[in-house]
Amino acid sequence: MNYIDLDVQLNKLKNDEMHISFFVDFAIENIRKEPEVVKEALDKAMKIAQNNKFEFAYSCCLIYIGWYHYYRLETDLAIQNHLLAYNLLLDLDDKKTLMRACNALMSDYLLLGAFDIGIEYGLQAIEMSNTIDDTDMRTRLLINTATAYSLGEYYQSAIDMMNSLLDVQYEISIVDRLLIYNILGEAYYNIEEYTEGYSYSIRALQLIEENNLEYYEPEILLSLAPTEFKLGKYQEAINSFEKAIDKCEKYNNMNTKVNLLLRWAICDISMNQYINAKLKLEDAITEAKKTNSNLILSMLYVQLAKACNLLEQYKDAYEFVEKAREYDKLVYSKNNSLWFAKLNAYKIEEETKVYKELYDKMNTISKIGKSLTTKLNLSDILSSIYYEVKNLLKADCLAVALYNEDEKRLDYELYMENNENFEGWSTLIDDETSIGAFAVRNKVDILINDFDNEYKKYVPEYLLLNKGVEKVPQSLIYCPLIKNGKMLGVITIQNYQKNAYNLQDLSTLDLLVSYIVIAIDNAKLFNEVEFLATHDHLTGTINRREILRLGEANVEANIDNTDLSIIIIDVDFFKLINDKFGHSVGDDVLIQVSKMINEGVRNTDYVGRYGGEEFLLVLPNTNATTAKIIGERIRKNIESYQFVINNKVKTKLSISLGLFEFNNKDISFYEGIKNADLALYRAKELGRNRLIEYRK
């Protein structure tokens, strides 16, 4: 629209408030491809509406200026405009335009991750649409509701809703059909039905090409590129990622660009391209920090920590885990304050007791969630879950199982019944007698209120969680623990009475689960980072820095001059193994040797990889005589062991050992290391495969 046309339309608006429909249609058609032009036109229209006290026209301008901010990821400004429009339209009693405001607010809150608030606005709009003949608006509302389901990881619900839309008798616009295909492509990708998802993404791209809608292309490629990657179409996936990012920059679509970089980085990590992943994540974080997207920043920092882990940059990994936790807290704090603001806008606290109770429960869950996500010890998290859940729901029994992906197994780390803690157990993921395994396999929540008559919907027969009890729970809820598509495990609450739970209880547990999965994932990642910071990545023994720190600490703490010994172990002729069989075989040998060393020491001893093929033992409260017994036991075990190479060649190995006893408190730890090293050198001089104690 040129300036002459704009002036003409603005003059018409001055004389007729209903001419705002021209600006609404113009915004709908152009907000994505020419956002600045649309914003300029709406600003001028809104000024006219203010001057002439056109409240309806003013509300319409607020809605589409809010969309302008939405696409720029300026969520606070988007919500501010949309809430103001919503409240004005309530007073005007214009349900048709009010539906548009609800639809906009739904999108705003979904972008923030406040799914409950967003879905509530969406359902409110859908209810209004039943009384108004506006099929286009109803279609868009259902599309946004399906988006909410998808963001909340209820992918099958999103698929069902979109398939039902495709079956309707009335005409669906090309853009809406495009969005439906995109949601289906995304949902099928997330439930790992990649071929089906690929077909819908290709259909969407065909619509884009046929109708010159290329500004939608990045959103389609956001699903298509990782789907191509999963289907083994690696070069096609790279091409799609590159093309999508170019289009994002062309149309200033930063939200999609950030998500593309995140997904591309995840693909890079799976292909061991950790540096590439790190660079992409750093670029994405730079863009995301320009907005209030705390939810996406949390996801980005989690992946950046993982990349640093794999690059052995453990200090950075730890810092990025902490960053992710900080943004998680901001998300929950933000969601809680936004919920409170919404309640104030409606004045529901005073007017509706039901909503007040819902808010109180949400606030309680938020506080519980914050408490859980501040813990980094997994056992502390699990022990807290039982008591927190009992304060919210009627739970005679509660169990939490963590998913072992390598073993395809659920490990029940927590089982509580009537405040008594029982020993955990494991069950395979394909166990046909486990309802928990069914929930994990199918990624579905399960609600049972009459166990004897309902359990066969899920399993042909059922084994009790606690086989030692006589009383069988009759009401059960199972919720899979899923974070960003990654299966972490399952939680179940159970009650002895029939009909103990309803859908509200399921929703309550689901909401709490959203915090539990973050707490568990953070704890696992923190423990992994903490472990890798002090342990050798190959052998799993203590690394050089940590074993030296422990040794020095033991010497400094040895003020009473009690017994303390160290042993340096070297694998004899290790270089020949590397030269003959290769370094990967050498690594396997070191892993086996370290395992045998660990089997030969006591629980109070420390074993560390000193460097290369050398290991260092720190033996507290141990004199030279006892240390020799330990060292000789290890030496003989290794000498008699047949090492298998490449699953067929068997060979013998030996080790040489240098021992030093700290019987003089004036000797530093590093002097002791030097003396043990001299003893090791002497052992090698004497023909290897022996233990020598240092003597002056």
Are the CB atoms for 107 and 148 separated by under 8 Å?
no
What distance in Å separates the CA atoms of residue 187 and residue 159, rounded to the nearest whole number? 7
Give the list of residues 6+ apart from residue 552 with CB closer than 8 angstroms, or none. Answer: 669, 670
Backbone angles phi, psi at 433, to 5 degrees: -105, 0
**Amino acid, res. 3:** Y
**Of 536, 533, 564, 569, nearest to 655 (Cα)?**
569
What distance in Å separates the CA atoms of residue 167 and residue 175, rounded to the nearest whole number? 16
Q: Write the DSSP string, 630-656.
A: HHHHHHHHHHH-EEEETTTEEEE--EE
Q: Do the bridges between strand 426-428 and strand 409-417 make them parallel or antiparallel, or are there none, so unpaired?
A: antiparallel
What distance in Å separates the CA atoms of residue 63 and residue 70, rounded to the nearest whole number? 10
Q: Write the DSSP string, 358-396.
A: HHHHHHHHHHHHHHHHT---HHHHHHHHHHHHHHHS--S
What distance in Å separates the CA atoms of residue 442 and residue 153, rounded to the nearest whole number? 12
Backbone angles phi, psi at 130, to 5 degrees: -70, -20
What distance in Å separates the CA atoms of residue 375 and residue 384, rounded to the nearest whole number? 10
What distance in Å separates the CA atoms of residue 153 and residue 508, rounded to the nearest whole number? 16
Residue 124: both structure tokens together: 């409110």
First to last CA, the chain: 94
- Which residues are 691's β-sheet partners? 657
Q: Cβ-count burial of 599 within 10 angstroms (0-12 exposed, 13-18 middle, 19+ buried)? A: exposed
- The helix or strand, by DSSP H or E, that contains position 428, with its residue range, turns out to be strand 426-428
**Of 650, 669, 651, nearest to 660 (Cα)?**
669
Backbone angles phi, psi at 114, to 5 degrees: -90, 70
Known active-site residue 613: yes
Of 613, 614, 661, 693, which is the active-site residue?
613
What distance in Å separates the CA atoms of residue 411 and residue 493, rounded to the nearest whole number? 16
**Of 406, 382, 371, 384, nearest to 524 (Cα)?**
382
Residue 187: both structure tokens together: 């949902």
H-assigned helices in 425-470: 435-442, 451-454
DSSP 34: S
Q: Do the bridges between strand 475-483 and strand 564-571 make them parallel or antiparallel, or are there none, so unpaired?
A: unpaired
Q: Cβ-count burial of 81 within 10 angstroms (0-12 exposed, 13-18 middle, 19+ buried)? A: buried
Are the CB atoms for 148 and 122 separated by under 8 Å?
yes
CB atoms within 10 A of CB 621: 14
Are the CB atoms for 342 and 355 separated by under 8 Å?
no
**Of 190, 196, 252, nearest to 222 (Cα)?**
190
Catalytic residues: 613
